[in-house]
């Protein structure tokens, strides 16, 4: 795991977008795993701007989202289908046929989860999985006690997650209590993982995820086991880390980050 700390939220977002853009330019058929949530909104806005301003090309890319609420159709404004169209897909030149999300309205949820796993495999797996982290330390909707070997499945949401997400609904009490999510094991099979986290509300859980013991109580700690994970933080999200000086040194000195340094990122 590499941890990179940037001074501001904007700087962290710009660096994460540049990493994704570099992967897309190197591999036009890139299979991207995508996340949702407030942190991702700024990232997707930056990627959309890069498409407009720098002709960043999504035309051959394939995407798979981490999760979807059970019981919400693709046109519901709180569904992740809607979220992705609103924040990214409608603003870049991606082929809608190459965008994939779980079907929250499937009659047979277990069968839908198996279908989703098979669809990922049919594209050769995910090349770059983009992530953030929930207050409880979850990635996707892999709530506490999620198995490190779990696959795409139906998951009950914790009261903490419901409290965090329900204000986004016009009627908070109508937020679904269950979701389909990629499993921790599914996420760990990605070729590379990129986790972006900003803001002081995530500082405590970031410290546990990055520097704490690996535990199913905090599914993001599983990323410590992945051979190629990069965590990009702003100063606020990094506030509780013990080894901040070392993480800053990595970005300032390691050759792989030189192109980004030279670009002023």
- Report the alpha-carbon distance of residue 161 to residue 143 in Å, rounded: 9
The domain containing residue 37 runs over which residues? 2-262
Q: Say if pTM beats, i.e. exceeds, 0.75.
A: yes
Strand order across the beta sheet in which 2-6 lies: 2-6, 229-234, 192-197, 128-131, 31-34, 62-65, 99-100
Torsion angle (degrees, nearest 10) of CA 14, 20, 21, 24: -170
Give the chain's mean pLDDT. Answer: 97
Among 90, 88, 92, which Cα is nearest to 42's? 88
Tens of pLDDT along the chain (265 residues)?
999 999 999 999 999 999 999 999 999 999 999 999 999 999 999 999 999 999 999 999 999 999 999 999 999 999 999 999 999 999 999 999 999 999 999 999 999 999 999 999 999 999 999 999 998 999 999 999 999 999 999 999 999 999 989 999 999 999 999 999 999 999 999 999 999 999 999 999 999 999 999 999 999 999 999 999 999 999 999 999 999 999 999 999 999 999 999 999 9
Tell me the pLDDT tens digit for each residue of 206-257: 999 999 999 999 999 999 999 999 999 999 999 999 999 999 999 999 999 9
Asked if residue 195 lies in contact with residue 234, where contact means CB atoms within 8 angstroms, the answer is no
- Report the alpha-carbon distance of residue 264 to residue 51 in Å, rounded: 19
CATH number for position 42: 3.40.50.1360
Give the total number of structural domains in the chain: 1
- Report the alpha-carbon distance of residue 255 to residue 240 in Å, rounded: 27
Asked if residue 31 lies in contact with residue 124, where contact means CB atoms within 8 angstroms, the answer is yes
HEC string of 85-127 equals HHHCHHHCCCCHHHEECCCCCCCCHHHHHHHHHHHHHHCCCCC
- Report the alpha-carbon distance of residue 35 to residue 80 in Å, rounded: 9
């Amino acid at each position: 795991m590499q941890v990179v700390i940037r001074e501001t939220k904007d700087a962290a977002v710009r660096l994460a977008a540049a990493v994704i853009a570099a992967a897309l330019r190197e591999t036009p058929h890139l299979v991207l795993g995508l996340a949702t949530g407030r942190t991702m909104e700024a990232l997707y806005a930056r990627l959309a701007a890069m498409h407009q301003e720098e002709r960043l090309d999504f035309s051959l890319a394939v995407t798979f989202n981490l999760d979807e609420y059970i019981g919400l159709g693709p046109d519901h404004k709180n569904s992740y289908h809607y979220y992705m169209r609103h924040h990214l897909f409608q603003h870049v030149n991606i082929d809608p046929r190459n965008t994939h999300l779980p079907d929250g309205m499937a009659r047979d949820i277990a069968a839908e989860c198996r279908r989703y796993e098979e669809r990922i495999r049919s594209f050769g797996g995910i090349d770059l999985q983009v992530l953030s982290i929930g207050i409880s330390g979850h990635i996707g909707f892999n709530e506490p006690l999620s198995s490190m070997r779990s696959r795409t499945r139906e998951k009950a949401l914790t009261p903490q997650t419901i409290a965090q997400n329900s204000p986004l609904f016009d009627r908070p009490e109508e937020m679904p209590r269950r979701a389909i999510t990629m499993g921790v094991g599914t996420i760990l099979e990605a070729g590379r993982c990129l986790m972006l986290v900003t803001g002081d509300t995530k500082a405590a859980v970031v410290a546990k995820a990055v520097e704490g013991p690996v535990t199913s109580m905090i599914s993001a700690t599983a990323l410590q086991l992945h051979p190629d994970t990069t965590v990009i933080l702003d100063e606020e999200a990094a506030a509780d880390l013990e080894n901040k000086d070392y993480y800053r040194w990595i970005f300032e000195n390691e050759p792989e980050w030189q192109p980004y340094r030279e670009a002023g990122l």
